[in-house]
Amino acid sequence: MKYAISKQDGKAVIRIKGWLDSQTAPELDKFVRSSLTDVTDLVFDLSELKYISSAGLRVLLYASKVMLKQGSMKVTGCSDEILEIFEITGFSEILTIE
């Protein structure tokens, strides 16, 4: 799993690549927790995300809770497989998916 962030004037885009599983999610979790200060418009670009397990879903849920208080959040570029996991877990109702 790799991630990158670009930030400008309260807008942040976090791109996640590869496998977001129980082994890799803690690193992303730490990064997200330290990156959301002053962010009002957050985008997760998941176009290169191949896999997400419950550990990865927890990171997105955490971010969505923070962004409910301080701005907006959306996820983009999901594959059909990732979208299906969002459907099963009800995340498609919680997240703004584009």
Alpha-carbon span 68 to 54, nearest angstrom: 21
Q: Is 89 in the site for other proteins (CB under 8 A)?
A: yes
The residue length of the chain stands at 98
Q: Minimal distance in Å, beta carbon 8 to other proteins?
A: 25
Which stretch in 6-14, 38-46, 88-96 sits in contact with other proteins by CB under 8 A? Answer: 88-96
Alpha-carbon span 71 to 89, nearest angstrom: 23
- Binder among 6, 7, 23, 33 for other proteins (CB under 8 A): 23
Among candidates 34, 86, 25, 12, which has minimal Cα distance to 55? 25
Can you read off the two tokens belonging to residue 31? 């990064």
SS3 53: coil
- 25-64 residues in contact with other proteins (CB under 8 A) are 51, 53-55, 57-58, 61-62, 64
Q: Is 98 in the site for other proteins (CB under 8 A)?
A: no
Residues lying near other proteins in the complex (CB under 8 A) are found at 21-23, 51, 53-55, 57-58, 61-62, 64-65, 68, 80-81, 84-85, 88-90, 93-94
